[in-house]
Chain A
Amino acid sequence: MTDARDTTHYVNPAPFNPIEDEVLTPEQERYYQASQWQIMWWKFKTHKLALWSGVVLILFYLCVPFAEVIAPYTPNTRDSEYLYAPPQALHFFHDGQFVGPFVYGQTSEVDLTNMKWVFTDDPNQVQPLRFFCFGTEYKFWGLFDANFHLVCPAEGGTMFLLGTDRLGRDQLSGLIYGARLSLTIGLVGVTISIVLGLFFGGIAGYFGGVADSLIQRLIEIMRSLPELPLWMALSAALPVNWSPVWIYLGLTIILGLLDWPGLARAVRSKLLSLREEEYARAAVLMGAKPQRVITRHLLPGFTSHIIASATLSIPSMILGETALSFLNLGLRRPSVSWGVLLNEAQNISVVTVYPWLMAPVIPIIIVVLAFNFLGDGLRDAADPYK
C-alpha cells in the first residue's frame, strides 16, 4: 500500500510485457478473424424478429417443392357434392372422449329461398384424419404418379379445413399449391431486377459521364411512373394463348422490368464511393479491365447491401402478382396462385355469403410481413462493423 507520505519509488516486480494490452481474448480473436459473412450472421442472430421471420418463410417455402405431399387434395380436384362447403372445424374430443384430430361429416340440403346449399355438421359421423397415408392421386413434380400424403381425410370422408369454392375445390390445397407460384414469382422477379439493376447501376457508377446522366434520367422517369397501371398494361399484352409456364415467365419479367431503378440507384451510389477506395485504384493502375475491377474488387463490397434491398422488394412483387391475377390479367386457371384463388372473391355478394373465399389474404399478409422484417434485419446486419 503506498501512502501519500511514502516518497520511495515503487517498481512493479512483475516482468514487463510491452504487448500485454494488445493480447486479444479468445472471443476478440474469433471476431477479428471471422469473415464478413460470419460477422453478419452473428449480428443477424441478435435480431430475433428477423430470425423468426426467416424461419416462418422457410416453412412457407417448404410448400414449394413438397406441395403435392403436404396438400390433402390437388388444387383442381372437384367434389360436386360439396360446392361452397364451409370450413370443417378440427376437433379432438368426441363425447368427452379423446379421438385425436378429426372432423365431423357434413350433411347438405338445399335452401330454396336463398338458392344455396346449407351444410350442417353431423355429430354421428366422426371422421378421424389419417396421417402418412395414401389418398388422392397426383403427378409428383409433373413427372411420376404417386398418392402419398402427409394427411388425408378418412376413407370416404372429407377434409375441407378452409372450405371449398364454387366448383367444390379444396381451399387449403389451393393455398398450398398456390404458394408454389406466388412465392417463387417474387424470387425470379427479383433476380431479373438485380441483374438489370447491377447492369445499369454498374455502368452509371463506374463509367460516369454521359452514360451516368442518361441512366440517372431514366431512373428518375421510371421512378415517377405509377407501377401498377403499367404492370396491368404489360400483362394485358401477354398473348392469351400462351401456356401457363410462358405466362408465368412473362409475368416475372414484367415485374422485374419496372423494379430495377431502385436497385440501380443503390448500386450506383455504392460504386461511386467504392471506386475511390485505394484497393480499387490499385487494381486499375495494375491494368485490370473494368469488368474485372467491378466483379472482383467492387461487387463483393456491397453484395450484402444488394441482398438486403432485394429482400425488401420481394413483397411488392408478390403483391403485384396477386393484384394482377386478382384482376384477371395475370395467371389463370389451371395455374394456381394466391391471386388466382382470390379471383373467386372478386364479387362482393359472393364474399358476403361465403367469407372463407378470402382465406388467401392471411398467408399473403404473413409472408409480406415476414419478408419486411427479414429485410430490415438483413439491412441492419449488412453493416456489421457499425
Chain B
Amino acid sequence: MKTKDRGCAAQRQKTATLKDKRLNRRQFILFLLIPYTLFLAPSCNTEAAFETKDVKVNMTIKNISSGFVECEFSTNKDAYYLIAIQDPWENFNPTTNQKQFMQLALDSAYAEYLIWRNDLLRKKEFNVAPFSSHSLQYGNTTRIFTGLMPDRDYWVYAFPVDPETMTPAGKLVLENVKTLFASTVEIRFEYRVRGMWDYVYPVDTLGRINSRYPYTFLTVDSAEIASSIAEYGTPVHFFTEWAIDLFQYPELADIFYGVKATENDGIKSTSKFEEGHVYYTGINGLDGLFKHLAVYKFTWHEDCVYYFHDTDSTNLFLKD
C-alpha cells in the first residue's frame, strides 16, 4: 500500500509538475499572444498604408513626342511620391544636389496646396483633402505630360515622400528628355455624326483606337465664322488660328483620350446642332503644331448620319 501510495504520490507530483510545465507553457503562449493581439493582430485600418524606408520609385519613359511625354511610375513598396516635369535649371545639377532639389520641389508643391487649402478654408469648408491626396501619387501611375514645346529639353522626375513630415523619403529618379522636333505618331482622326450626337475616333495605322494620344476638338456653326471665311475664302484659317492658340496656351485645351462621344444639345455641351445649319469640326492632336489637324464640314439634319475619314478633311494642304 505504501509503495502504491508512494507511487501515487510520485505520480501526483509528476502530474503536478507536468501541469505546472503546461501552465508555464500556457503562460508563455499567453505572454506571446497578448502583445500579438494588441499590436500585431490584423485590424481594420482603412487608411492607405505607406512606407518611408527603403522606398524606390521606378520611372519608365514610354513615349516621347513633340508635344507630350508619357511616363509610367511605380514603387517597390506602398508609398507616396511626387512626380513632375519642368524646364531644366541652368548651372544646377539635380543629381549632385538631390536633397536640395527634392525639398525645393516638395516645398513648391506644398505652397500650391496651401493656397488651394486656404481658399477652401475661407469658404468655411471644414473637411479639406490632405496634401497627400491632393498633390502626391500612390500606387502605379501612368501620366501623360502635355503642353510641351517641340525640340526642347525637360526634366521628368519622381521621388518618395513622407506625407507626415513633408520630407523626401528616398532617392530622386530624374531623366532628361528632349521632345521631338516633329511628331512621329501615326494617327488619324475619324469623325461620326449621328443625329444630335457626334463621335471622335483617334485611330492608328491598323485601324485600332489609340487611347493614349491627347487631342482636343471644336465644333462651330459656319455662321459664327462667316467673317473669317469671307476674308480668307476658307474655314481653315479659323482652325489654324485655333490650333496656334492651343499650341501657345496648351493649358486652355480640354484634353481627351480615346473615343469621345458628345451630345450637342447646348445643355451638356457648349455646342448645339440646329436644323439646316452648316458646321465645321476641327480636331487637333496636342502634339506639335498642325500635325494631325483635321477639319470636317457637314450640314446638320435631325436624322443625318455621316462618317468622315481623314481623306474627307477640308484642310488637305495641312496634311503630312
- Determine if chain A interacts with chain B: no
Interface residues, chain B, CB within 8 Å of chain A?
none
Interface residues, chain A, CB within 8 Å of chain B?
none
